[in-house]
Amino acid sequence: MKAKTLPPGLHRDTLAVRTALPASQWGENSEALYLTSGFVQPDAETSARRFANPQEGYTYGRTSNPTVSSFEQRLAAMEGTEAAIATATGMAAILLLGMGLLKAGAHVICSRSVFGSTLNLFAKEFGKFGVASTFVAQTDLQEWQAAVRPETRLLFAETPTNPLTDLCDIRALADVAHNAGALLAVDNCFCSPALQRPTELGADLVIHSGTKYLDGQGRVMAGAICGPEKMIADVFAPIVRTAGMTLAPFNAWVVLKGLETLGIRMRAQCANALAIAHFLESHPAVTRVYYPGLESHPQHALAMKQQSGLGGAVVSFDVRGSDPDTLRRHAFKVIDSVEVISIATNLGDTKSIISHSATTSHGRLSEQQRQAAGIGQGLIRLAVGLEHGDDIKADLARGLDKL
Ligand SMILES: *Cc1c(COP(=O)(O)O)cnc(C)c1O
């Protein structure tokens, strides 16, 4: 179904507020939530046409829904892609990506530093079906290039990474993928389209966990793939219709409304994050800060070019300590001293969230694997929210000043 017509050349912030299906006959200004599993057909002939071609009209909630369509069209407009398809979670979007593009014998190249469940999905679950995966260093283009095989179908990247904020050069990876006859998919969860549009840099497909910044208020799970209209309609939509990783209309409505404030939230959260990164860099109890917005970040120049001049809203830092036990004790002291920030592992919320990576997101790795990944016991990740920056700094100082 087509979005309502808007004048050409509108800015992304305007598209984020205005792109949607046309209003119903009641003229609602805020997009309607169509909470229905089925759609009544005017006659058997129309019903037959719609079942044969879902573009003709709505039939059943597993296939599509007007609220979900509005979310898909708004997100696609913001990413600058022709189309998008919504899924129940971010992981469901990556599952859909793999189901659409891979079959037994196919090969995937993926950064070693991507989201843990993504690693498991490619290595374990797709491995069961005869898909081979090679995991490479996020920042080493030569390793990506050297991993290419004749049967390579997909390069999968996430930038910046969690929690150490390493970037990859999307344009350079797109060249590696295309020279190999493969596609490049980028998980754009950390930057969102407010900062980074991977297809403008040559990526073929963009993955989203709508659970994070797109909702932005920590309420619902959602996901999406953005890409060319033909691929969305011919490759991915039939799988969603068959396999049912459909986004629920209520969740679609929440994320649709979340997109309206994405730009303004991201800019405010990035500004907060930069101020906090500077504060941490100057604190004597902090030995290292990982934040692409800082000039000390090894890929600062690439971040500024690739992420609209903004560093994102996730700041990680190492606290002082001489051995793993002391480091962990110090990190726990900082975390346990907060009175405002939430101790949790989510991110992309208006509420700032603090976590100890070595015992949460990376807790299932061995100490050796963690060391190799650069995740020490003194590492703390802060997903910066929308509280006043001075209050977040004061909350961190409570523990840091005691070390
Ligand atoms: C959270 C996350 C996912 C998975 O999204 P869900 O909505 O939790 O399934 C994928 N990629 C990244 C980078 C994430 O942070």
Hey, which of 189, 190, 362 would you mutate to test ligand 1's pocket, going by the most ligand atoms within 8 Å of its Cβ?
189
Ligand 1 centre distance from Cα of residue 115 (Å): 7
* pLDDT score at 258: 98
Structure token digits, residue 365 = 């790795």
Look at the block and give the residue holding tokens 């409570």. 398
Topology of 12-259 in CATH?
Answer: Aspartate Aminotransferase; domain 2 (3.40.640)
Ligand 1 centre distance from Cα of residue 386 (Å): 21
* pLDDT score at 368: 83
Nearest CA owner, ligand 1 atom 8: 90
Closest CA to 79 of 20, 16, 31: 16
Q: Distance between CA 120 and CA 101 in Å, rounded?
A: 18
Closest CA to 292 of 167, 199, 169: 167
> pLDDT tens digit string along 198-235?
999 999 999 999 999 999 999 999 999 999 999 999 99
Q: Distance between CA 130 and CA 339 in Å, rounded?
A: 49
* DSSP conformation class of 182: -
- Residue 94 Cα: closest atom of ligand 1: 10
Hey, which of 211, 221, 346 would you mutate to test ligand 1's pocket, going by the most ligand atoms within 8 Å of its Cβ?
211
Q: Distance between CA 337 and CA 399 in Å, rounded?
A: 5
Query: What does CATH list as the number for 262-400?
Result: 3.90.1150.10
- Residue 93 Cα: closest atom of ligand 1: 9
Ligand 1 centre distance from Cα of residue 326 (Å): 31
CB-CB contact of 106 with 131 (8 Å): yes
* DSSP conformation class of 359: G
Ligand 1 centre distance from Cα of residue 86 (Å): 14
Q: H helices then E strands: how many in the chain?
A: 16, 12
**Ligand 1 site residues, Cβ closer than 6 angstroms:** 89-91, 115, 118, 158, 187, 189, 209, 211-212, 221, 223
Nearest CA owner, ligand 1 atom 2: 209
Nearest CA owner, ligand 1 atom 1: 209
The amino acid present at 327, given as its one-letter code, is L
- Residue 189 Cα: closest atom of ligand 1: 13
* pLDDT score at 374: 86
Sign (positive or negative) of CA dihedral 127, 132, 137, 141: negative
Q: Distance between CA 84 and CA 98 in Å, rounded?
A: 16
Query: What is the DSSP secondary-structure string of 234-255?
Result: IIIHHHHHHH--PPPHHHHHHH
* pLDDT score at 201: 98
3-state helix, strand, coil in the chain (%, to 5): 40, 15, 45
Ligand 1 centre distance from Cα of residue 42 (Å): 40
The angle formed by the CA atoms of residues 207, 208 and 212, to the nearest 5 degrees, is 155
| Residues constituting the chain | 403
Q: Which residues of the chain have pLDDT under 70?
A: none
- Residue 114 Cα: closest atom of ligand 1: 13
SS3 101: helix
Contacts of 133 (CB under 8 A, 6+ apart): 107, 108, 109, 110, 122, 123, 126, 127
Q: What are phi and psi of 319, to 5 degrees?
A: -90, 165
- Residue 212 Cα: closest atom of ligand 1: 1
Ligand 1 centre distance from Cα of residue 90 (Å): 5
Nearest CA owner, ligand 1 atom 4: 90
Q: Distance between CA 162 and CA 165 in Å, rounded?
A: 6
Look at the block and give the residue holding tokens 């229905």. 36
Closest CA to 349 of 219, 259, 251: 219
- Residue 210 Cα: closest atom of ligand 1: 7
Structure token digits, residue 247 = 């986004």
Q: Are strands 183-187 and 205-209 parallel, antiparallel or unpaired?
A: parallel
* pLDDT score at 312: 98
Nearest CA owner, ligand 1 atom 5: 90
* pLDDT score at 54: 87
Structure token digits, residue 126 = 């797709």
> pLDDT tens digit string along 93-150?
999 999 999 999 999 999 999 998 999 999 999 999 999 999 999 999 999 999 999 9
Residue extents of the structural domains in the chain: 12-259, 262-400
Ligand 1 centre distance from Cα of residue 219 (Å): 14
* pLDDT score at 366: 83
Hey, which of 191, 212, 360 would you mutate to test ligand 1's pocket, going by the most ligand atoms within 8 Å of its Cβ?
212
pTM, two decimal places: 0.97
Ligand 1 centre distance from Cα of residue 19 (Å): 25
